[in-house]
Amino acid sequence: MKCERLIWALLLLPLALSCSEDDFSPSGTSGSTDPFSPGHREAVEQVRSVMIMVSGGHNSLSGYLTDDLYEMADGYLPEGTAAETNAFVVLSRLPVNSLSTTSAPVLYRMYRTPEGMVVRDTLRRWTTEDRLFGGSVLHDALLTVRDRIPSKSYGMVLSSHASGWLPPGYYDNPSHFDTMKRGLTSIGQDLDNSVSVEMDLVDFADAIPYNLNYVVLDCCLSGGVEVAWSLRGKTDVVAFTQTETMADGFDYKKILERLLKEPVPNPLGVCQDFYNYYMGKSGVNQSATISLIDTRRMDALAAVCRTLFEKYRTQISRLDGSSVQGYFRYDRHFFYDLRDILAHAGLSEEELEELDEALGECVLYKAATPFFMNGSQYGFSIRAHSGLSMYLPSRGSSFLDNYYKTHIAWNQATELVL
């Protein structure tokens, strides 16, 4: 899973050897010839679209994220760096040899020459003291991309560990936080010598210095209304998963075609490819949830929810969660289906219709397999899927309630927790 990307998968599947940034090669092959020639930093005035891949793999995902980059290098890549050519840019931090060896974040543009050579042109490199998800690296990288590659369309795909709106570390050790008075939401992870550096949800949104056309979050448990609301004004649409994300992540063989080769970026196609990929599997591997949210059209949902939260506050506070659709395993009961929470609170048919209309305004696409990890311990069926998860206060804690009130913008707009 990309919150912990399936411990069993890490044990059962061979972990790809990570490479240094300068040794990265398509198909995971090794050899004395570096397939990425130095390239030239040609000034470009205008390109149609830029996709920025943020690969935060200085953690247990290093092998998987390296393989993702291999897949993209083997597939479609923009040809050359002419002003009218779309651009594929990577911001990554991957371990050189092991997690005990610190590496530096690096920003580079990847393209293919007419002769078929894959070129990686380094745009900026930070120091080994810098963390991709710490300080201003992400913010500065996005500004560098805009400065070096002017465009009328920018989008971002981010792949790393995450735990939705929860404070870093809470997912793994909730009891530790129940005695604390502070915490940060976890988006991305840099792990060095067992010291984890993670970015909170507020800082992640603040790190985006200009509006993006799309954000794709290849991270576990990121598909909550809390995350989508926090990205209003930062991205037009966001694609994410309500459950954990299986080890393979998104379909990286097709993602560049969807976001750069097609006439306009197609995040909807990315979501459809993701769903079809996992529906094509069987057994425990047929596990996925996905949705695409228009963050510009969430006001109606917030207004409806604010009214319903107030009217049904007592009923919501009494829900034990057992009958409400959850998206979690191991009793990490912090992610429930937004619509199903309210349906079980006792909404009238008219109120459900109003809620569905508001959801229909902003949920552009949603899909889910019938089960998540069917047949495995802690697997569950997916009988309801609105495209957005949400915190259920009756299954939370006083620490989470306080954090939700003071840190989560969705609560400030709707007053789920008072």
DSSP assignment of 273-289: HHHHHHHTS-GGG---E
CB of 42 closer than 8 Å to CB of 63: no
Place of tokens 């056309």: 213
Q: Which pLDDT score, from 0 to 100, does residue 309 have? A: 98
139 backbone dihedrals φ, ψ, rounded to 5°? -60, -50
Q: What is the pLDDT of residue 35?
A: 32
Q: How far apart are CA 13 and CA 80, in angstroms?
A: 36
Both structure tokens of 322: 């057992």
Count of alpha carbons within 13 angstroms of residue 395, beta-carbon side: 20
Q: How much is the CA Rg of the chain, to the nearest whole Å?
A: 21
Determine the Cα–Cα distance for residues 132 and 103; give it in Å rounded to an integer.
Answer: 10
Give the model's pLDDT for residue 24. Answer: 37
Structure tokens at 295: 């963050």
pTM of the full structure: 0.84
What's the pLDDT score for residue 285?
95
Q: What is the pLDDT of residues 123-161, one digit of tens each?
A: 999 988 887 777 699 999 999 999 999 998 999 999 875
Domains of the chain (ranges, CATH numbers): 7-296 (3.40.50.11970), 299-363+381-414 (no CATH)
Ranges of residues in the chain whose predicted pLDDT is under 70: 1-47, 57-64, 95-102, 135, 161-199
Are the beta carbons of 394 and 319 closer than 8 angstroms? yes
C-alpha angle with apex 244: 242 to 246, nearest 5 degrees? 125
The rounded distance, in Å, linking the Cα atoms of 47 and 50 is 7
pLDDT recorded at residue 196? 47
Question: Phi and psi of 316, rounded to 5°?
Answer: -65, -40
Instruction: Classify strands 106-112 and 87-93 as parallel, antiparallel or unpaired.
Output: antiparallel
Question: How far apart are alpha carbons 399 and 126 in whole angstroms?
Answer: 36
Residue 117, token pair as written in the block: 């050579």
| C-alpha–C-alpha distance, residues 12 and 223, integer Å | 27
353-356's contacts with Cβ under 8 Å and 24+ in sequence apart are 354/304, 355/304, 355/305, 355/308
Residue 120's DSSP bridge partners are: 110
Q: Which residue has the tokens 């097709």?
A: 254
- The single residue listed with the structure tokens 């580079």 is 108
CB proximity list for 306: less than 8 A, separation 6 or greater: 413, 414, 415
pLDDT number for residue 332: 80
Helices (H), 124-266: 137-148, 174-177, 201-206, 225-230, 255-256
Q: Which residues contact 285 (CB under 8 A, 6 or more apart)?
A: 246, 278
C-alpha pair distances (Å), 371 with each of 81, 152, 382: 44, 40, 5
CB 255 within 8 A of CB 271: no
